[in-house]
Homo-oligomer: A and B are copies of this chain.
Amino acid sequence: MQVETSLLNAQRPVLPIPPTSARRSAPSRAIAKDAEIFAEGDDAESFYRVVSGVVRTYKTLSDGRRQIDAFHLPGDFFGLESGDEHRFTAEAVGDVTVTAYRRCALEALAMQDTELAKQATAAMMRALERAQDHMLLLGRKCAVEKVASFLLGLAERMSRSGDIELPMSRIDVADHLGLTIETVSRSLTHLERAGVIALPAHRRSIQLRNRAALARLNS
């Protein structure tokens, strides 16, 4: 896990860091793999920004079915709420470092024209756009298309080469795409047999061999 995390960070472009006025009151927090950052229903005292590692946010049904609405990479904000409770749970996918911002700070800052307020608003809009794209994926794409879209999106966000080091397990991928782990696995081998991707021995790494074919799958 350590290895994967550092690889990921190495591939990421350097983060833009909020201005010092905001950073002064922004403590950095280290979180261990699979540890909870906040839970559905918790008071939304703070929101967060990923410094290193990956965070998943999800909702669950009463019988345990889970939908991961997003993975948050370094630089991404998460945990912004309109109400006073968190509406989903956030956990560390691997070892993670986050910056915490007091929520009241945002509301105070929102009135002003600060860099942090702008970034937070922009983050919300991006989250909405991603959610809209993801609804199309969940509602109308078949399994292979879902996996292809996911790989393309991840490559775009975390790698400029064609190599992806998946930060998350198959279960996480499945719960993000509305599939089971078996179907995710079968879709991957299907793409591999079609020569679109390669799956090296280390099963968390994936090479994109034919981006055009992948792109065709989520037109």
- Selected from B62, B132, B140, the residue in CB contact (under 8 A) with A131 is B132
Q: A134: CB under 8 A from chain B?
A: yes
B125 near A69 (CB under 8 angstroms)?
no
Q: A23: CB under 8 A from chain B?
A: no
Which residue of chain B is the closest to A177 with respect to CB atoms? B139
Q: A37: CB under 8 A from chain B?
A: no
Q: A61: CB under 8 A from chain B?
A: yes
Please give the count of copies of this chain that the complex contains.
2
Interface SS of chain A: helix
Size bracket, chain A contacts: 35 or more
A59 to B124, CA, bound (A): 20
Q: A14: CB under 8 A from chain B?
A: no
Q: A21: CB under 8 A from chain B?
A: no
A124 to B121, CA, bound (A): 10
Q: A122: CB under 8 A from chain B?
A: yes
Can you list, as one digit per residue, whether each of A127-138 has a CB less than 8 Å from chain B (1) or not (0)?
111011111101
Chain B residues with CB under 8 A of A138: 135, 138-139, 178
Which residue of chain B is the closest to A139 with respect to CB atoms? B178
